[in-house]
Each structure stands twice: as structure tokens, then as C-alpha cells.
Amino acid sequence: MDAKKLTNAALLTAVAVVITLLGAYIPPLFFLFFLLPVPIAIMILKSSETYAAVGGLVVFVLNIMFTDIITAFIGLLLSIIGFTIGFLIYKRKKATDTIIETSIISVFLLVLTFYMINFFFKINVITEFLKSFDMSLRQVLNLYSNHPNIDAIKNSILSLEQVVKMSLPASFIITIAFIVLVNYILIAKIMKTQGVYIDNIPQFKYWRMPYVTGWIFIIALLYQYFLKRPEIMSTNIIVLLSIGFTFTGMAVIKYYFDNKLKMKNFVSISILIILFIIPLTSWLLTLVGLADASINLRKYMP
């Protein structure tokens, strides 16, 4: 048994336990819980797959003891995400392949996790989430109960509720992809300080959606239009691709700011955040991203 590897694994397991419990018990630090993949992945790179698997199991058992079943299983899913990222990095996979493959695997594991919680503990995670969401909306309605336009506000909130419920699968997929992306970036930065080479994610200004996604988006929009009512599959496809096109639209603008205007990074990022927040300009960014998927707008920029 390699004492150095064992020591590294023990320390990283302790870190995993601490950030999990801090994230679970201290609300301002909740984001730490979703960084659990970082120590698990590093455990593979610094020790071995066996140590990482044992470390993830230890975190799972302690979560069952000190938190609740849903938190414990979500923690187990995050440990598997870390294990997958670490394993693919160890196998010298490209950054984009690692993120895409881990995200796909994680989405299926998320569905399996929800099923297992429901099967063994009779807890429907989706139902519980929707109950909490409904309660929050009711509290918002109560705040506006004396507003002169309460009927319009109520209709807007109920429409939002319907959209959120229908687009829940897309929301979970986007969340998983974001968690994988953030953890990969952190793992890469940490390991590079240790002299370990890890493939870099392409710079944001070069992000681009595949050509075929543009046609899928248009077909989904036309299907929804002629159907004349929301439909869950087309709605989720539209939501997912809209987010993708919006971010690639931002990437095109970032490319223009950097290469044409020679704008400082802080200024360009600030402008992009403002454009993303404003509904009209956010919609225009989506159109730019859709156009870029078809003709690669960067080719026409210096």
C-alpha cells in the first residue's frame, strides 16, 4: 500500500466531507455542496479509482447519518460526477468530450437517483420540488393581494408556473451541465498548480453550436406553432437550444469586442452580462447564436 496515496485520499475525503456538510447546514455556503466532485476527481488523479470510490462511499454514509436521504443521494450523484470527470481526465480525454460525456451520464444517473429515492423511500423528488415552488408562488401572490392589477399579476405568475413545470427536464439538464463545467474548470486549475497537464476548455469567444441544432430549433418552433399549444418535448428542446444559442451569441459578441474593438476583458464581460439580463437584447443574442450556427459569423470578422 502506497502511504502517500493513502494520505492524499484521506485528506481529500476529509475535504469532501467538510464541504458537503458546510453546504448542507450553512445556507450562505450552499454552493460548496455542488463542488463535491472536485476532491473526488482529484483523488483519482493523485491516488487511484479505488480510493476515490471509497471516499465517495464514505461521504454518502456520513450524509445519510447527518443530513437527509435526498441530500445523501444527490451527494452520491455528485461523487459519481467527480469520479467520471477524474477518470476521463486520467484517460487523457479532451475537455469538451469530458464535459459532454460526463453531462450525458449524469443526466441518466439523476433520473435513476430520483427513481431509487421514490422506489425505496416513497419520496417523489419532483413532486416535492413542485410543492415548494407552488408554495413560493402563493407567497408572492399574497404579497400582491392588494395590488390594483392583481388579476394580471396572477395570470403572469400562473403562466410562469406552467412554463417552469413543463421545462423542468431542460432545467435539470442545464443545471447538470453547469455543475460539470464549473467543477472541470476548478479541477483543471487546481491540478495545474500541481504540475499535472489537463486539456483546456476552448475560450468562451470560440464557443459555437453545431449546425444541425439550428434546424432542430426551427423545426421545434414550427411544431409548437402549428400545434397551437405547449407540448413538453418541443418546449424542452426550445428551452435547451435557446440557452445554447444565447450563450454562443454572447461568444460571438465577445469575439467582436476582443478582436475588433480591442476592449478590456472586464468591460466586455460587464456589457455581455447587461445584454443577457435585458429581455430584448437577450432575445437578440439568441438570434445571433442561431445565425452563427448556420454561417459561423466569426469568419466575417477580422
Question: CATH number for the domain including 44?
Answer: 1.10.1760
Averaged pLDDT for residues 215-236: 88
Q: Which domain holds residue 65?
A: 3-123+167-193
Give the integer Cα–Cα distance in Å for 224 and 235.
8
Instruction: Please indicate, yes or no, whether residues 180 and 258 belong to a single structural domain of this protein.
Output: no
Q: What is the pLDDT of residue 154?
A: 73
Domain count, the chain: 2
Is 20 a member of any domain?
yes
Instruction: Please indicate, yes or no, whether residues 247 and 183 belong to a single structural domain of this protein.
Output: no
Answer yes or no: is pLDDT of 302 > 80. Answer: no
Q: What is the pLDDT of residue 139?
A: 78
Instruction: Please indicate, yes or no, whether residues 31 and 177 belong to a single structural domain of this protein.
Output: yes
Q: For 139-172, write each residue's pLDDT tens digit.
A: 777 777 777 777 777 777 777 777 778 888 999 9
Instruction: Please indicate, yes or no, whether residues 225 and 113 belong to a single structural domain of this protein.
Output: no
Answer yes or no: is pLDDT of 1 > 60. Answer: no
Averaged pLDDT for residues 52-64: 94
Give the integer Cα–Cα distance in Å for 37 and 79.
5
Answer yes or no: is pLDDT of 18 > 70. Answer: yes
What are the Cα distances from residue 85, in Å, to 74, 103, 145? 17, 10, 49
Q: What is the pLDDT of residue 257?
A: 94
Judge whether 76 and 55 are in contact, CB under 8 Å: no
Instruction: Please indicate, yes or no, whether residues 213 and 184 belong to a single structural domain of this protein.
Output: no
Is 35 a member of any domain?
yes
Is 141 a member of any domain?
no
Is 133 a member of any domain?
no
Name the phi and psi angles at 203, rounded to 5: -55, 145
Averaged pLDDT for residues 16-44: 93
Q: Which of 16-20, 85-89, 116-120 has the lowest mean pLDDT?
A: 116-120
Is 237 a member of any domain?
yes
Instruction: Please indicate, yes or no, whether residues 38 and 186 belong to a single structural domain of this protein.
Output: yes
Hey, what's the cell of 250? 454572447
pTM over 0.85: yes
Instruction: Please indicate, yes or no, whether residues 185 and 286 belong to a single structural domain of this protein.
Output: no
Instruction: Please indicate, yes or no, whether residues 175 and 218 belong to a single structural domain of this protein.
Output: no
Is 172 a member of any domain?
yes
Q: For 60-103, write each residue's pLDDT tens digit.
A: 999 999 988 889 999 999 999 999 999 999 999 999 999 999 99
Instruction: Please indicate, yes or no, whether residues 172 and 238 belong to a single structural domain of this protein.
Output: no
In this predicted model, which residue has the larger pLDDT, 131 or 292?
292
Instruction: Please indicate, yes or no, whether residues 172 and 231 belong to a single structural domain of this protein.
Output: no
Instruction: Please indicate, yes or no, whether residues 229 and 187 belong to a single structural domain of this protein.
Output: no
Q: What is the pLDDT of residue 269?
A: 93
